[in-house]
Amino acid sequence: MSKILLTLIWCILFFKSHGAFAHGEDKPGPHGGFIRMPGAFHTEIILQGKNKLKIYLLDINWKAPSVSQSSLEVRLEEGKLKNKAQCHIKDDYYLCSFQNTVDLTQKGNLKVLAQRENQKGAEVSYELPFKLKKIDDGHGGRH
């Protein structure tokens, strides 16, 4: 009986949590940006021209953007080239700028290391060009 119960619990957890692994990467954020979850908070990135980004550090519920007791490092990796952005606080978000030769609409990989209100996050990756991830929930897009 315990093997059956354990298997049933495992199956329920596996199928229920399948879509949860994306943490919203298949939907736009509250400001229309792209979401990742580096820890107990979310990062939302909005492209502002070819070499600038607006980045919000949101709470676990995608609300309450905060820059208080926070930090942000952003770098672009294009093959062997690595460019670091200059990020400055503006109201409740960061504005990050790369040098003029950088084009964030081209293929690359954006790495973001953030800390929000003293909560340190893991480094997250955004594939360029930005796009929402397609999540296969087993329903073929039908709900």
Interval 70-98 mean pLDDT? 95
- Domains, the chain, with CATH or none: 31-126 (2.60.40.3340)
Confidence class for position 80, pLDDT limits 50, 70, 90: confident
pLDDT at 78: 84
Tell me, what's the pLDDT at 5? Answer: 45
| pLDDT at 8 (0 to 100) | 43
Tokens of 89: 């606080």
46 three-class SS: strand
CA dihedral 31→37→42→47, nearest 10 degrees, is -40
Q: pLDDT > 70: what percent of the chain?
A: 78
What does the alpha-carbon distance between residue 22 and residue 1 come to, in Å, rounded to a whole number?
34
Per-residue pLDDT band at 4 (split at 50, 70, 90) = low
Give the percent of the chain with pLDDT over 90: 70
